[in-house]
Amino acid sequence: MYAIVKTGGKQYKVTEGLVFETELLDAEVGSAVQLDVVLAADGESVFVGEEAKNVNVTATVVEHGKSKKINIFTYKAKKNVRHRQGHRQPYTKLKVNSITIG
């Protein structure tokens, strides 16, 4: 059984026991969160739209962190213009506990 969930403006395909990183969520480490389900499927049937609202996906917050640094360097040729900037995207690591229908 799997589900497509929406969080942080993105969609992820999840199964039970999967650990994945998403955009930073406002939740404590160790707490449970409910994820919005877009689509769910088991062996025989697919749940979409109104049927998908009956599917519950619960996940536990494993950790918060920052991803690898991205270096941005821009310049304009022959103008002596150079800009250097870095960015580290914050994330939340989630572990899917259960996918239940009903």
Query: Which amino acid, residue 74?
Result: T
Looking at the chain, how many residues does it have? 102
pLDDT at 102 over 90: no
Note the pLDDT tens digit of each residue in 54-66.
999 999 999 999 9
**67-99 pLDDT per residue, tens:** 999 999 999 999 999 999 999 999 999 999 999
Tokens (6 digits) for 27: 């939740």
pLDDT in the model for residue 97: 97
- The two structure tokens encoding residue 40: 């769910």
pTM for the structure as a whole? 0.84
pLDDT of residue 81: 97
- What is the per-residue pLDDT across 32-53, written as a single tens digit (0 to 9) for each? 999 999 999 988 999 999 999 9
